[in-house]
A and B are shown apart, each in its own frame.
Chain A
Amino acid sequence: MLRQIEGSQAVAETVARCRPQVVCAYPISPQTHIVEGLSRLVKSGDLAGCEFINVESEFAAMSVAIGAVAAGARTYTATASQGLLFMAEALYNASGLGLPIVMTVANRAIGAPINIWNDHSDAMSQRDCGWVQLYAESNQDAVDLHVLAFRLAEELSVPVMVCMDGFVLTHAYERIDVPGQEQVDAYLPAFRPRQMLDPHEPLTIGAMVGPEAFTEVRYLAHQVQRRALDRIPELAGAFEAGFRRPAGGLVRPYRCADAETVVVALGSVLGTVKDTVDEMRDDGVRVGVLGLGTFRPFPAGALRQALGRVARVVVLERAFSVGTGGIVSADLDSALTGLPQRRYTVVAGLGGRPVTKASVRAVLDAATADDLEPLTFLDLDRSTVEAVR
């Protein structure tokens, strides 16, 4: 049903329609209205058959999620920023054990210095932990990706993070088609765990694996992620057939057909970039946008196919790796090895700095003139930097 609703509340209602049996969360900062909304739905009885577990930390939240899903319950949690880092050890356990937890990451910066605002540093810091990472462009996308995420997670026995920009999406009121119960039920079958802990049929999950087989375990985990590269477009297609709107996918091209320059970006900044690209198109500049809907597994093949004939690629990313540069850029460079194109990295919107159309336009004008450093920090205030020196 179409509603004018806050992003977090829409996600809460949608997660409820995915019929989770356990929702566990640490209720204070950094947290969103999502789990607050879910706790209300559990308490009011609107989310029947679900236990809400108020835990004492994010580490406990992920640990309880691991236990719950291992016992066969569809399980959800949410976090952000330092909370995700506090989960880090347990994140590897969830993926290493192949447990299909779905978690929202309401993307925020990581301190120090203390900063509560939006960027992608949190999720990017966990890119190697074995979770699938899907990125939402809008609140409609965020809502829809959660439905897709449960199906993907459970089919492949892999945990999935749905990354949505903190504040910019979570706290925005906009028009959202919140999926109905029948629609979700038709798309998302009941959870059938690959294996589960059952006192009547005892088994061990997560026994020690020594040097003789640890490589094989990691190899198999990699194969599961590679299967996800095939499965994500199929599930996106099935979603579109059922809900009559596109959701998810590996990459999403916008005005790329004849583009000489393509901007690669992920998350809510895509909307602003698309508006900028429309204006540049009006001025006759052949520029397009490629939205990255899936970051893990990294869709190298789809990117190579989409960007193979492009003269120039500008990666606009909301996080970076101190001491080396762009995180998405490094993966993209490896995916596009050998292609004779110029590539630029623009680090933008760190710690909640707004990414404006004017700034994106300025950096794209410089890029299309090939008058841009390989690594640029959008709107960097030189006077502040010089003052510190």
Chain B
Amino acid sequence: MFEVRIHGRGGQGVVTAAELLSVAAFAEGRYAQAFPSFGSERTGAPVVAYCRLSDGPIRLREPVLRPDALIIQDSTLLVQVDVFAGLAPGGAVLVNSRQDRRALHLEHLPPDRLVIVPASRLALTHVGRPVPNAALLGGFAAQTGLLALDSVIQAIRDRFRGGVAEGNVAAATEAYRLVRSRLEEQVDA
């Protein structure tokens, strides 16, 4: 079982990200369970959502307490919420930011575990709104190798229609390529 925890703020599509991730995994024939950390949802308030991926049925209903991967949709949460709580040793971290690891004070995370991708900027370019969730899922697919980009694209088209769908597909695709090329550079270096 692979467990993902997504942190963001109300309005950034955090719950939708977890749902899309589960739909992408389902498209690959896997079992997946996505659910939000329930609260009184308000725009801008910290929000958490979870997704479990597995090759077999998932019975467990507790929140994800020891995530194998974190997706941080809003880097201002890094100093506001203990986003790293319970992160499994060697767990992957994906952060939405235009800043680098030094500016984010994340130098303690080795480069093979931390990927920073400007997902809001990509969304603004391709969708016209700074909703980073779909782009981050493209980045997640590249970072973890858990899902094919095509599955993420399928999940996006399943959920959205028309220009919103295609804009998000473009953002996810660019994020995927960005992360892939950066990881390949690391391997070469």
Contact = CB atoms under 8 A, between A and B. Distances in A.
Bind each other:
yes
A229 to B, nearest CB: 27
A116 B38 contact: yes
Nearest to B38: A167
B62 A272 contact: yes
Contacts of A272: 59-62
Interface band, chain A: 20 to 34
A17 B74 CA distance: 42
Given A116-B40, A117-B38, A173-B19, A168 B31 contact: no
Interface string B18-34: 11001101110001111
Contacts of B65: 356
Interface in B28-78: 31-36, 38, 40, 57-63, 65
B33 A357 contact: no
Given A117-B38, A173-B34, A357 B23 contact: no
Contact of A174 (B27, B38, B58, B62): B58
A175 interface: yes
Q: Contact size class for B? A: 20 to 34
A291 to B, nearest CB: 11
Interface in A278-312: none
User: Which residue, B22, B33, B36, B62, has most C-beta atoms of chain A within 10 A?
Assistant: B62
A173 B18 contact: yes
A118 B25 CA distance: 27
Given A116-B38, A356-B65, A274 B18 contact: no
Contacts of B61: 168, 268-269, 271-272, 355
B interface: dominant SS: mixed
B35 A4 contact: no
B26 A175 contact: yes
A63 to B, nearest CB: 30
Given A172-B34, A174-B22, A357 B62 contact: yes
Contacts of B40: 116
Interface string A44-61: 000000000000000000
Contact of A175 (B31, B35, B38, B63): B31
Contacts of B62: 272, 354-357
A342 to B, nearest CB: 27
B60 A174 contact: no
A175 B36 CA distance: 16
A357 B32 CA distance: 19
Contacts of A270: 59
Nearest to A6: B19
A130 to B, nearest CB: 30
A352 interface: yes
The 3 closest A-B pairs by CB, nearest first: A271-B59, A4-B26, A173-B34
Interface of B: 18-19, 22-23, 25-27, 31-36, 38, 40, 57-63, 65
Interface of A: 3-4, 6, 116-118, 138, 167-168, 171-175, 268-272, 274-275, 352, 354-357
20 contacts: A3-B26, A4-B32, A168-B35, A171-B35, A171-B36, A172-B35, A173-B32, A173-B35, A174-B22, A174-B33, A174-B34, A175-B31, A270-B59, A271-B59, A271-B60, A271-B61, A272-B62, A352-B38, A356-B63, A357-B62
